[in-house]
Chains A and B, each alone.
Chain A
């Protein structure tokens, strides 16, 4: 890995973060006739207590306090500074700092998403390799049909089907929430079991789709390896089929699989957010749904920024680890 590549890659990372922050800043500003403060206050007048004229004064007061009377570029600079320190402001609804709200939600999302991606990657890659390997038993190769079907169902719809089957028709698993009401959060067995039980359905929804996608991609790369000289050579040396499959086939096909993983993190995270919202799972997704329904702008923008930031960090790590795994990639300029 050269310094050139490192600088370029980190530059892209910073650009992603900057773009995320700027999107959050400019898109709401461009929207016609939308002043979140005025709107929040208008809703307050509907609830009663504040008269119309007095409210305009309050709105002006708020505008000065939040610096909205300053020129746009100054607001932008202040805003970027706040984003750099992960200061997302205060929730319009609960009046607690958005950062604290998000930090209590983040572990749930990371836990759910991380586990699902890991299981989907391992199982999906293995399955895909078996499907693609020409010497696999015929019935195993038939698994391409379910993989194809699974990859075609978005995870949140898969979630609905699973809820109906496993939580409503056969009440095997709980259908929503993060843990049983009445169980006190802590590091004891009861709580952990409850968490695992509640995570099972949303995780299954995510894994099933992810598994299908990974299996199809892996099948493609295994197929393209077959016929390569080193595989033929290994066969001619009389190596056992299983050894060729794992050490010559899977190992090499896993590398493109990692690139795919890095590229698909965004859509996987997007899907996970909707899955959480569908299952009322206590992660960022359901917080986003609640914030959207309550016009809680600081929370919405905070979640959007935080998720994009997390994806950018993960992609950066994957990209930097990649050349360490694959010695063929040196990222050196050819010229």
Chain B
């Protein structure tokens, strides 16, 4: 009985894949950005084939050695192998970014959906809270939090804390989208045909908001990287983790820039800059999809 559907499926899937590929080809910025981020994600797995990752710890070798054939990026004044730091740390930095970004988006999406859909006093409370929090620099809240629990901050707690301060952007965008979509005819039709509120949100509103959700996600990730690196530059990150931000902090604390030890601070800086360029490319690419008007004029 189900045969026709089963037969149809491979073709449908193939069409979908082709559509997706064509879509990406049309959006070069998005594609380039995704490739940039993907290549950063590969630094960890591929790099660990060439270097023993545990060498990122202090006292792993020579001190303050400049780059050479055996030490591609040299060592710092405490004897960390900078290449191993980059291999171990890039994944950690991406982990903070993705964890904080997706949690921030999840919180923001739920609050934005509820605010836009339920309305009334709930909406007022959520909107006011986001109005209030959005002008407060995330970094400062993080500073208060991090100094309060200093010593206990791990890579994951840092990500969760950032997420708690990164939901306002997504919540605003999603709330306004829900307000627009909820008056569309198909939503009224679904309601009239007996769907409950949750089903309407899940089956009707959510699929229509995917580009906006994706764009909010990238923005939350950008905030997460920006504030986590800032927090670490102030010395409040996970002290023993070889993240890019902590590496830059140690380099600064030991005067690496003035000592001319460029191999200490330049590699982590490059990783962060590449990450930002990738994220901005994705954000701009998604923006063109979410707001086609911008794309058409350029």
Contact = CB atoms under 8 A, between A and B. Distances in A.
Interface of A: 12, 15-16, 19-20, 23-24, 27-28, 30-32, 34, 148-149, 151-154, 156-157, 160-161, 163-164, 167-168, 175, 220, 223-224, 226-227, 263, 265-267, 269-271, 273-274, 277-278, 288-289, 292-293, 295, 297, 300-301, 304, 307-308, 311-312, 315
B293 interface: yes
A175 to B, nearest CB: 7
Contacts of B140: 270, 273, 304, 307-308
Interface stretch (B17-25, B126-134, B187-195): B126-134
B269 A157 contact: yes
A149 B139 contact: no
B144 A16 contact: no
**SS of A interface (majority):** helix
The 5 closest A-B pairs by CB, nearest first: A270-B137, A270-B139, A31-B148, A152-B276, A266-B137
B233 A156 contact: yes
Contacts of A20: 136
Given A19-B133, A267-B223, 12 more contacts: A12-B131, A20-B136, A152-B276, A156-B230, A164-B257, A164-B262, A175-B258, A266-B135, A270-B230, A273-B139, A289-B234, A308-B137
* Size bin of chain B's contact surface: 35 or more
13 contacts: A12-B131, A16-B135, A20-B136, A30-B148, A34-B148, A153-B276, A154-B272, A271-B230, A289-B235, A292-B147, A300-B143, A308-B136, A312-B135
Interface string B127-170: 01001111111111101110111101000000000000000000
A78 B298 CA distance: 57
B139 A274 contact: yes
A289 B252 CA distance: 12
A15 B233 contact: no
B280 A151 contact: yes
B235 to A, nearest CB: 6
A175 B260 CA distance: 13
A270 B142 CA distance: 11
B234 A157 contact: no
B97 to A, nearest CB: 13
Contacts of B34: none
Nearest to B236: A292
Contacts of B227: 270
A151 B279 CA distance: 12
A224 B293 contact: yes
B229 interface: yes
Contact of A23 (B144, B147, B233): B144
Contacts of B279: 152
Contacts of B248: 157, 160
Contacts of B230: 154, 156, 270-271, 273-274
B273 A152 contact: yes
Contact of A278 (B139, B223, B252, B273): B252
Given A154-B226, A224-B293, A266 B136 contact: yes
Nearest to A226: B297
B144 A161 contact: no
B135 A300 contact: no
Contact of A161 (B236, B269, B298): B269
B250 interface: no
A12 B280 contact: no
Nearest to B140: A304
B257 A160 contact: yes
Nearest to A219: B298
Contacts of A24: 144
Contact of A300 (B136, B147, B277): B147
